A and B are shown apart, each in its own frame.
Chain A
Amino acid sequence: MTDSKYFTTTKKGEIFELKAELNSDKKEKKKEAVKKVIASMTVGKDVSALFPDVVNCMQTDNLELKKLVYLYLMNYAKSQPDMAIMAVNTFVKDCEDPNPLIRALAVRTMGCIRVDKITEYLCEPLRKCLKDEDPYVRKTAAVCVAKLHDINAQLVEDQGFLDTLKDLISDSNPMVVANAVAALSEIAESHPSSNLLDLNPQSINKLLTALNECTEWGQIFILDCLANYMPKDDREAQSICERVTPRLSHANSAVVLSAVKVLMKFMEMLSKDLDYYGTLLKKLAPPLVTLLSAEPELQYVALRNINLIVQKRPEILKHEMKVFFVKYNDPIYVKLEKLDIMIRLASQANIAQVLAELKEYATEVDVDFVRKAVRAIGRCAIKVEQSAERCVSTLLDLIQTKVNYVVQEAIVVIKDIFRKYPNKYESVIATLCENLDSLDEPEARAAMIWIVGEYAERIDNADELLESFLEGFHDESTQLQLLTAIVKLFLKKPTETQELVQQVLSLATQDSDNPDLRDRGYIYWRLLSTDPVAAKEVVLAEKPLISEETDLIEPTLLDELICYIGTLASVYHKPPSAFVEGGRGVVHKSLPPRTASSESAESPETAPTGAPPGEQPDVIPAQGDLLGDLLNLDLGPPVSGPPLATSSVQMGAVDLLGGGLDSLIGGTNFVAPPTAAVPANLGAPIGSGLSDLFDLTSGVGTLSGSYVAPKAVWLPAMKAKGLEISGTFTRQVGSISMDLQLTNKALQVMTDFAIQFNRNSFGLAPAAPLQVHAPLSPNQTVEISLPLSTVGSVMKMEPLNNLQVAVKNNIDVFYFSTLYPLHILFVEDGKMDRQMFLATWKDIPNENEAQFQIRDCPLNAEAASSKLQSSNIFTVAKRNVEGQDMLYQSLKLTNGIWVLAELRIQPGNPSCTLSLKCRAPEVSQHVYQAYETILKN
């Protein structure tokens, strides 16, 4: 006999026929009829008219028939409350049945019938069933309390069921405990304030015991409940963790993930110095990897969770990159998630493998996946500096494929690479420009426009390119970019582009209805007409580099999501309040705060938000900081004097004024309102505002580092109205600083110090404002270490290492220039591989070689080598030729220029010979000077 025939009754008068069958005397016929009713119900037909007839079949000793009738009742009781009452007697009677299966069935079904009158009758049987001798009935009754609570919470409280439920947590049967825990957890969620789940060390102990004995589902309920507990100290946290870890070997992935949740949460309380902490970290990786061999849907859930875990504790899976490699047959949702995690785990150690994989993926079929792979290559470049060059060349290869969406995606990421490594890869711009025509997506067009604007001075036909984009100005998605790009172009090449800028300004201000666009248009216009020099400084000012991790989940949300591991929230990466209706399940959860014992390892304020100090993106400041500094502007701008007048800037300004703007202003009737006057030096405070992020002031002092020359007087007091400045340059563990000594030799207190550098050969710039904390009283001296960065504007100086400095105080602005020793620019990773050295040496033409004599330097090879090494000149190889020691050395400058050296030392001869080879021969002289200074001191 098959049941499928019940699905095929579609005759007219069907209900009538069924009614007759339901009232038949024959038991078999009755049962058949009920089955037909259920089948109709399943496919969505309304069979509520048969209610009384079906309920009549309830009184039966046939368990199967009874279950069918109950199923019907659960569906229709709500729509026929009055008739549902007819069933109550049977329920009450069934609750007394000698067969525990029938007792449980009755109490289970009654709880599902949401009719008030029935609920009233439910209370007594439920009370009995909660204390039933049979565990099967008790475990069913426990869930029934939750059902009843959902219908009528007040009733449950009044009847004292909650206390009975709490007692069941101590039941002898593990399944009863598990269901009681599940029911209580659910009820507690709708009463966040109640102390319903009063978890204490005793009850926790009971739960942990039941954990070993109950079904897989019960283990999940218990673990999810445990995760809400807050251990009182780290010892308790550890002991719970120890008892939960065996669950990591369970075959059920949900048990594993819930165990991971408990461990991740309680781990917060453990001190990182603890051996156990390390053990636990190690234990977490294998089960997480194992989850990836589950069925694809579970893999997806696991991957979404791993994504969170990797952000919270990257150390757990840092060696497991390979398991996230995409398999050809993975479903697309698994592929996309794996890709995300691969990028998060990418590091210098594994970048080569990752890139090879990504390149492979970029040739796949699925468009979304390919796009994401291309984007991932860009993110690798930004994340792992060493790989940037390879990433760029991979992206160029991909652009050559001419596959439309690949090209567009590549351009979008190359824009970000430019923002991270300015002035490094502009050589690719030509290739990008070749693909202009294929750009039909707004994001790619916007990226391209930005690139053209930013590098306008290096693109010969930038004006033509932007003009061609301007034809499509009505396309709203790239208007702002176009406006900015054309203004940048104008500031860089004022003579040829007046018409263009005029056109775009009038389009933006007159033809557009977009308030943002108009506002920005007016800002530019006023700026250009009021003070072109200022405009240039504002618009073309240095921008902060972009951060490596742009898509990290915000730390407080991440912490909340860690508390929801395994649940839907962790799959959506959203807090439950974002997708759950009403008050349920929206209790905000947070990780336990770290205990005192761990504060030694981690600064306390970072603990609750989770991100260990080292992991914070170090390039971009929090928005608040920046804003703060900008607002500070009026109160005390660090520089209030005129901008540094150097010949080149002056020239530019003259050009602007003479050539372009007069006609621009004249050509339109626009008169700049007086209020639009902008402080002339807006550029400077922005610059110094940004410098807060380079918090390099620490770590200066006694650490060993490059050779430091004694301080020399740079600005004598007589030239600076009593301010004497002496100083020197140092390089320590990768950071350059200018150590200054300011002495007040005047009779007046000095305040409001600020410093600025003119553009120079290596882009040296203050990385922080000059901080003189207290006013400098007469005859007082302060020592200041000013951190420097090498990301400033570059302009070749004569001599190469000349640095022009402006210092300002409340009295005046003073200028001086100084020469910095080149070795402060020698970077730490300047050691060239031996093969590379040989190849490069040969590769550099001989005319670039320069030879110098270093006299009076009675050092042997070892001593010289180690002395040089401390200043980042690295010995690549050593050779002894005819009694002479030959040292082959390499060094790299901050701007990436390599210098190769051959140092010949003759024992007994106090002078040695230095041969330098470099692609930029003009640095050789200064490198030689650096050598001499280092070796002789």
Chain B
Amino acid sequence: MIGGLFIYNHKGEVLISRVYRDDIGRNAVDAFRVNVIHARQQVRSPVTNIARTSFFHVKRSNIWLAAVTKQNVNAAMVFEFLYKMCDVMAAYFGKISEENIKNNFVLIYELLDEILDFGYPQNSETGALKTFITQQGIKSQTKEEQSQITSQVTGQIGWRREGIKYRRNELFLDVLESVNLLMSPQGQVLSAHVSGRVVMKSYLSGMPECKFGMNDKIVIEKQGKGTADETSKRCLSGKQSIAIDDCTFHQCVRLSKFDSERSISFIPPDGEFELMRYRTTKDIILPFRVIPLVREVGRTKLEVKVVIKSNFKPSLLAQKIEVRIPTPLNTSGVQVICMKGKAKYKASENAIVWKIKRMAGMKESQISAEIELLPTNDKKKWARPPISMNFEVPFAPSGLKVRYLKVFEPKLNYSDHDVIKWVRYIGRSGIYETRC
């Protein structure tokens, strides 16, 4: 299991050092600094073995988190734990920075004592942790409170405490998708997928039992079979359902029920959490098409023309559109003309950045640029990195629709109808690249 956990600043000075196992000595702290943080070459693996000691590291801004072990630990678990550790710290004191870590080092030690025992991760849900790791010092708890805490930390529903009350029962569902594309210069889709998340913010009293439904093809087809009016159902499912390649759920979701009935039922944590993640690859609506044209005129000049076309309902508006056209390292000057928005050559980023605030569906726009190059002796050709794009659209490119989210709380007297529900769809660009 995890033998120790260290946090360093960018200089390699240790900010937190907690050792869980006897086989990890103080020299492990230095070994990581010397071999990884101060290494001459860029780190080539997130797992490093130094003298039979293995180090797992992740970086958050300029802070290094390293877990160390001498055993054959579950590597996936160690990384999941490091990410979780970051989440927990962020939930307690915001951004993970040197200053924040120094300011909260006592808290961090307390957390590390609680969520890792002998190197075994323990309950690390912030909801539960915040009930008893408070930094408030002596806060006398009644016996009931204490046992409530312990039963929550160890219990089946470790993510939610009992007795939550809201005057207004409300929930927000955000369908957040990032659409990824790799397109050839000829406009052929080399790979495209949507990775989506359903994020829920729940402000619900008691221990509400929730059921979430979406236009999942498998569910809709299953329902379609049951009814007599099959043709109309099929019609519906053909158009409006989507094929989900795979999905994963927050630990509150009953996985065995999903496996057997494909229904998503759960008791949500209080506040914001990520209910599910999913991935689709079929019938993706690609909100933008990028058509590049790069021409090398002699050895010292490049002509670039890029057309973007929006491909969604004209009534919808895309926002925060940004097209990034890479330029060679030996660029000496750039002249740009664009029809819409603003375009600038950013020498420090080796790219022309073209920004458009808003763009309606079914429109197109164009930019052309002349790039002057310095003659070089460099034999190696310019690698032509792909043109990338960023945007935000008010729909889900996968076609996912929320069909319902039902809430049942048998003990308290509010019903599904009393809950105010909000649903929002946001599609963003993930890695959206067109080769040129």
Residues in A whose Cβ lies below 8 Å from that of B73: 567-568
A401 at the interface (CB under 8 A from B): yes
Bound form: Cα–Cα A581–B25 in Å: 15
B277 at the interface (CB under 8 A from A): yes
Bound form: Cα–Cα A253–B109 in Å: 26
A666 at the interface (CB under 8 A from B): no
On whether the beta carbons of B47 and A568 are closer than 8 Å, the reply is yes
B79 at the interface (CB under 8 A from A): yes
B380 at the interface (CB under 8 A from A): yes
Residues in B whose Cβ lies below 8 Å from that of A139: 122, 154
Bound form: Cα–Cα A585–B70 in Å: 10
Taking the closest CB of chain B, its distance from the CB of A386, in whole angstroms, is 21
Residues in B whose Cβ lies below 8 Å from that of A245: 259
A20 at the interface (CB under 8 A from B): no
A481 at the interface (CB under 8 A from B): no
Bound form: Cα–Cα A255–B256 in Å: 14
Residues in A whose Cβ lies below 8 Å from that of B14: 42-44
With A3-B106, A213-B156 known to touch, is A403 a contact of B380 (CB < 8 Å)?
Answer: yes
Bound form: Cα–Cα A489–B89 in Å: 70
The A-contacting residues of B in range 1-23, CB under 8 angstroms, are: 1, 13-17, 19-23
On whether the beta carbons of B259 and A249 are closer than 8 Å, the reply is yes
B120 at the interface (CB under 8 A from A): yes
On whether the beta carbons of B431 and A329 are closer than 8 Å, the reply is yes
On whether the beta carbons of B191 and A325 are closer than 8 Å, the reply is yes
On whether the beta carbons of B279 and A252 are closer than 8 Å, the reply is no
Residues in A whose Cβ lies below 8 Å from that of B193: 323
On whether the beta carbons of A175 and B72 are closer than 8 Å, the reply is no
Residues in A whose Cβ lies below 8 Å from that of B276: 251
On whether the beta carbons of A290 and B26 are closer than 8 Å, the reply is no
On whether the beta carbons of A173 and B155 are closer than 8 Å, the reply is yes
Identify which of A507-515, A571-579, A814-822, A874-882 touches chain B. Answer: A571-579
Residues in A whose Cβ lies below 8 Å from that of B76: 253-254, 256-258, 298, 301-302, 566
Identify which of A217-225, A340-348, A612-620, A778-786 touches chain B. Answer: A217-225
Residues in B whose Cβ lies below 8 Å from that of A584: 71
On whether the beta carbons of B150 and A101 are closer than 8 Å, the reply is yes
Residues in B whose Cβ lies below 8 Å from that of A143: 117-118, 120
Bound form: Cα–Cα A245–B245 in Å: 16
Identify which of A51-59, A62-70, A496-504 touches chain B. Answer: A62-70
On whether the beta carbons of A360 and B52 are closer than 8 Å, the reply is no
Residues in B whose Cβ lies below 8 Å from that of A173: 154-155
A-B contact count (CB 8 A): 284
On whether the beta carbons of B120 and A221 are closer than 8 Å, the reply is yes
B74 at the interface (CB under 8 A from A): yes
Which A residue's beta carbon lies closest to that of B257? A246
Interface of B is mostly: mixed
Residues in B whose Cβ lies below 8 Å from that of A202: none
Bound form: Cα–Cα A216–B52 in Å: 29
Residues in B whose Cβ lies below 8 Å from that of A774: none
* Most B Cβ at <10 Å: residue of A217, A329, A564: A217
On whether the beta carbons of B149 and A101 are closer than 8 Å, the reply is yes
A134 at the interface (CB under 8 A from B): yes
Residues in B whose Cβ lies below 8 Å from that of A137: 150
Identify which of B137-145, B219-227, B306-314, B359-367 touches chain A. Answer: B137-145
With A143-B120, A300-B47, A325-B182 known to touch, is A43 a contact of B151 (CB < 8 Å)?
Answer: no
Taking the closest CB of chain B, its distance from the CB of A91, in whole angstroms, is 15
Task: Determine which of B75, B110, B120, B250 lies in contact with A301 in the assembled complex, contact meaning CB atoms within 8 Å.
Answer: B75
On whether the beta carbons of A290 and B386 are closer than 8 Å, the reply is no
Q: Scoring B residues 367 to 405 as 1 if CB is less than 8 Å from chain A, else 0, what string do you get?
A: 000000000000111011110100000000000000000
Residues in B whose Cβ lies below 8 Å from that of A360: 435
On whether the beta carbons of A246 and B106 are closer than 8 Å, the reply is no
Task: Determine which of A289, A296, A327 lies in contact with B279 in the assembled complex, contact meaning CB atoms within 8 Å.
Answer: A289
With A38-B106, A216-B251 known to touch, is A135 a contact of B151 (CB < 8 Å)?
Answer: yes
On whether the beta carbons of B277 and A251 are closer than 8 Å, the reply is yes
Bound form: Cα–Cα A568–B42 in Å: 22
On whether the beta carbons of A212 and B255 are closer than 8 Å, the reply is yes
The A-contacting residues of B in range 230-267, CB under 8 angstroms, are: 245-251, 254-256, 258-259
Taking the closest CB of chain B, its distance from the CB of A63, in whole angstroms, is 7
A364 at the interface (CB under 8 A from B): yes
Which A residue's beta carbon lies closest to that of B13? A43
Bound form: Cα–Cα A445–B81 in Å: 48
Taking the closest CB of chain A, its distance from the CB of B77, in whole angstroms, is 4
A839 at the interface (CB under 8 A from B): no
Q: Scoring B residues 33 to 49 as 1 if CB is less than 8 Å from chain A, else 0, what string do you get?
A: 00000000010111101
B288 at the interface (CB under 8 A from A): no
Interface size class of A (residues with CB under 8 A): 35 or more
On whether the beta carbons of A249 and B44 are closer than 8 Å, the reply is no
The B-contacting residues of A in range 326-368, CB under 8 angstroms, are: 327-329, 332-333, 353, 357, 360, 363-365
On whether the beta carbons of A101 and B132 are closer than 8 Å, the reply is yes
Which A residue's beta carbon lies closest to that of B59? A297
Residues in A whose Cβ lies below 8 Å from that of B228: none
Residues in B whose Cβ lies below 8 Å from that of A179: 117, 120, 122
* Most A Cβ at <10 Å: residue of B135, B255, B385: B255
Bound form: Cα–Cα A576–B103 in Å: 40
With A43-B13, A298-B76, A402-B379 known to touch, is A581 a contact of B259 (CB < 8 Å)?
Answer: no
The B-contacting residues of A in range 218-251, CB under 8 angstroms, are: 220-221, 224, 243, 245-247, 249-251
* Most B Cβ at <10 Å: residue of A221, A290, A584: A290
Taking the closest CB of chain B, its distance from the CB of A298, in whole angstroms, is 5
B183 at the interface (CB under 8 A from A): no
The B-contacting residues of A in range 1-19, CB under 8 angstroms, are: 2-4, 6-7
Residues in A whose Cβ lies below 8 Å from that of B386: 328
B433 at the interface (CB under 8 A from A): yes
Task: Determine which of A70, A221, A250, A253 lies in contact with B255 in the assembled complex, contact meaning CB atoms within 8 Å.
Answer: A250
Bound form: Cα–Cα A730–B1 in Å: 63
Which B residue's beta carbon lies closest to that of A213? B156
Bound form: Cα–Cα A220–B57 in Å: 20
Residues in A whose Cβ lies below 8 Å from that of B215: none
Residues in A whose Cβ lies below 8 Å from that of B117: 108, 140, 143, 179
With A64-B135, A143-B118, A298-B80 known to touch, is A249 a contact of B255 (CB < 8 Å)?
Answer: yes
On whether the beta carbons of B109 and A67 are closer than 8 Å, the reply is yes
Bound form: Cα–Cα A585–B54 in Å: 14
On whether the beta carbons of B74 and A566 are closer than 8 Å, the reply is yes
On whether the beta carbons of A252 and B247 are closer than 8 Å, the reply is no
Which B residue's beta carbon lies closest to that of A570? B75
Taking the closest CB of chain B, its distance from the CB of A641, in whole angstroms, is 59
Bound form: Cα–Cα A572–B122 in Å: 26
Residues in B whose Cβ lies below 8 Å from that of A289: 245-246, 279
The A-contacting residues of B in range 74-92, CB under 8 angstroms, are: 74-77, 79-83
Bound form: Cα–Cα A823–B209 in Å: 75
Bound form: Cα–Cα A291–B258 in Å: 19
A295 at the interface (CB under 8 A from B): yes
Bound form: Cα–Cα A44–B279 in Å: 47
Taking the closest CB of chain A, its distance from the CB of B34, in whole angstroms, is 14
B195 at the interface (CB under 8 A from A): yes
- Beyond contacts A175-B158, A289-B279, A293-B277: 12 other A-B pairs, Cβ-Cβ < 8 A, are A7-B102, A62-B137, A62-B138, A175-B153, A217-B77, A286-B279, A290-B246, A290-B248, A295-B83, A297-B46, A298-B83, A327-B182
- Sample of 20 A–B contacts (CB below 8 Å): A63-B137, A99-B141, A100-B146, A100-B147, A108-B113, A137-B150, A143-B117, A143-B120, A212-B256, A214-B156, A217-B120, A293-B195, A295-B58, A297-B79, A301-B47, A301-B75, A327-B431, A328-B433, A568-B72, A568-B75
Query: 6 tightest CB-CB pairs across the interface, nearest first?
Result: A286-B246, A136-B150, A4-B102, A254-B76, A246-B259, A254-B77
Which residues does B use to contact A, with CB under 8 Å?
A: 1, 13-17, 19-23, 26, 29, 42, 44-47, 49, 52, 54, 56-58, 69-77, 79-83, 99, 102-106, 109-110, 113, 117-118, 120-125, 132, 135, 137-138, 141, 143, 146-147, 149-151, 153-156, 158, 182, 190-191, 193, 195, 245-251, 254-256, 258-259, 274, 276-277, 279, 379-381, 383-386, 388, 431, 433, 435
